[in-house]
Amino acid sequence: MPPRAKTRDDSRAPISITAVLDAVGALAAGSVRGNLYMYDTNKAGGSTGFGTEELRTRVRAGDRVLWNCLALECEAFVGIAGIEVDKSVIEPERKVYPGTDVAYWIGTVKKDDIDVVPYRIRFLVGTRTEPITTTLSPTLVG
């Protein structure tokens, strides 16, 4: 019997991108630069730049991408206020885990023919009223 053709499985887990933010450092500097460490779950798929602000997440059409963030200090508050990205490639939406107030952002990659798609994350940090936006750009790569 010939092997089955590979098909996309919509039930597969999303590629999770986690931003670990040093909230104390970001508040003191007024910037996330040097205070942000990014990781994703697609290293085997070709992602690079782990632990940096310039994470390069390898994606393809149909992949779901989920963004979340964690504070380096357990007593500090961090959250994602928004993700600025080319909406012709992906449109992240804010969601909340059921039964909690923990938010995340998720979207589905719309096309394969992307080269490098930079994005910016706007972070809520501590009691600061204005979000702090990334200055170096993580990217989605095809």
Instruction: Read off the pTM.
Output: 0.88
State residue 111's pLDDT score. Answer: 94
**Which tokens sit at 78?**
């961090």
**Which domains, from first to last, does the chain contain?**
15-141 (2.60.40.3910)
Name the pLDDT band for 10 (thresholds 50, 70, 90): low
CB neighbours of 93 closer than 8 A, spacing ≥ 6? 105, 106, 107
> Using one digit for the tens of pLDDT, what is the confidence trace for 81-105?
999 999 999 999 999 999 998 899 9
If phi > 0 it is left, if psi is from -120 to 50 it is alpha, else beta; for residue 122 that is beta
State residue 2's pLDDT score. Answer: 43
CB neighbours of 78 closer than 8 A, spacing ≥ 6? 21, 23, 69, 70, 71, 123, 124, 125, 126
Mean pLDDT to the nearest integer, 118-135: 95
Choice between 2 and 138, residue whose per-residue pLDDT is larger: 138
